[in-house]
Amino acid sequence: MEHFGINEMLDMQKALQEKYKNIWKPICPDRGQDQLLWMIGEIGEVIDIVKKNGGEKACQDAEIRKHLIEEMADVLMYYNDILLCYGISEDELKQAYINKYEKNMKRW
């Protein structure tokens, strides 16, 4: 996989959703809130790693860093599920990100 961006992550999440369609609830707007809450839980796990070990150790210690990155991947998986729940495309996200960036560049 040469390029790894939002579309690739969305495709992977769609594949997971398809594989577990008989076990997991379907992706739809009503499920977005649940996915947001699960993502917050994963963010809490990221925070715990940094809080417990400190930022420097989380960057430098190979095992802690591996765990940190794994938890960040969990956050991104839920984030992409949320995009799918609300039907947000890579192009929509890109344009909103650019607009927000430009607004922040002029803020102060």
Residue 40 lies in a domain: yes
In a domain, 18, yes or no: no
Compute the distance between CA of residue 17 and CA of residue 49 in angstroms, rounded to an integer: 28
pLDDT, tens digit only, all 108 positions of the chain: 588 999 999 999 999 999 999 999 999 999 999 999 999 999 999 999 999 999 999 999 999 999 999 999 999 999 999 999 999 999 999 999 999 999 999 998
Prediction pTM value:
0.90
Domain that holds residue 77: 28-96
- Residue 56 domain-assigned (yes or no): yes
Asked if residue 103 is part of any domain, the answer here is: no
Residues 44 and 98: their CA atoms lie apart, in Å, by: 27
10 found inside a domain = no
Number of domains composing the chain: 1
Residue 51 within a domain: yes
55 within domain boundaries: yes
Task: Answer whether residue 5 is part of any domain.
Answer: no
